[in-house]
Amino acid sequence: MRKVAFIFFIFVATFLLASCNSGQSSGIANEDGERLIRVGFSQADFTESDWRIANTESMRQALSRENGFDLIIVDAQNDPNKQLADVANMIEQGVDYIVIATVQEIGWEGVLQQARDAGIPVILVDRVAAVNDDLFVTWVGANFREEGETAVRWLQGFRGYDVRAVHLQGIMGSTAQIGRTGAFEDAAAENGWTIHASMTANWDTIQAKQVMENWLTRFPDINVVYAENDNMADGAIQAIEAAGLTAGGYDGITIISFDANRRYLQLALDTGKINFNVECNPLHGLRVAEIILALERGESVPRINYVDGEAFDWRYLTQEIIDARTY
């Protein structure tokens, strides 16, 4: 009898060890006893912007227990090294899938190789990682270069060759910053525009205000601010008005922005202070959930999943458009 018990114990222990090591969930189940899909989401930073907050909430809502997921979200706090360690820890935990919004594109080869060796599929959202395609399954996000090109086409139409700009950049090395910056710099070269200065304000309103205050004292002829997100555009507007100048409209310093968060579209409609805003939809959660469920069914998924976006000229905004916005 003792021998049978011993053999049974070995069988159970082996099964549990195998299920943990094979990347399968460790049997997390919901109230109905159905196995939940364990997803580790490494978010660049929880609070860096309105966009980021909406992105995190979208993932939380879509990858819920009710929808069959056990979601672990970790805040990288915009620290690239912490993010690498966070993802390595998710691999150790043996999650079923890893989703990453990278702080920076570089430095991912090692940890994504570990994920592949552990049999854990990686899905990139928003930002990309500069690695071989075989180290991640798919990417969901916006075409940031195209966003920038949309903005500069509008600026060409609105100001022609008369552009004396300053340029507030996102976190350097992030995919959004790279794409939006490239489009603006190329357009400036082609059109003979002046870019007095470019500097990162890390997507942040306060930092953008401080940078803009300095630029206003150095460059009295500024007529355009190219801000790579709404929160930085907000900081620039605050600095412009504190200096007794006008932001936006037909006669003020032209403000270009990105993300098109609802509250900034409302600002544009009510005051004209943001002249043109290029949408970058943060609501990736449902798309990621669909991708994971497709992978669970053994289906293949597209490698690139662009999220669509519009652009808003303050002159044509309506309250109806804004009320219909989802973020």
Using CB under 6 A, list all residues that contact ligand GYE: 48-49, 51-52, 126-127, 170, 174, 176, 203, 229, 258-259, 280
For 244, list phi and psi in degrees, rounded to 5.
80, 15
Minimum Å distance from CB 256 to ligand GYE?
13
Minimum Å distance from CB 60 to ligand GYE?
17
* Closer residue to ligand GYE in complex, CB, 176/187: 176
Minimum Å distance from CB 252 to ligand GYE?
23
* Closer residue to ligand GYE in complex, CB, 96/230: 230
* Closer residue to ligand GYE in complex, CB, 25/257: 257
- Asked if 278 contacts 151 with a C-beta cutoff of 8 angstroms, the reply is yes
Minimum Å distance from CB 273 to ligand GYE?
18
* Closer residue to ligand GYE in complex, CB, 48/105: 48
| Burial 27-65, CB ≥16 within 10 A → b, else e | eeeeeeeeebbbbbbbbbbeebbbbbbbbbebbeebbee
* Closer residue to ligand GYE in complex, CB, 94/179: 179
For 219, list phi and psi in degrees, rounded to 5.
-130, 85
Residues 6+ apart with CB under 8 A from 69: 36, 37, 38, 39, 63, 289, 292
Alpha helices in 50-204 (DSSP H): 50-62, 80-93, 109-117, 144-159, 175-191
Sign of the four-CA dihedral 28, 137, 64, 57: positive
Minimum Å distance from CB 113 to ligand GYE?
24
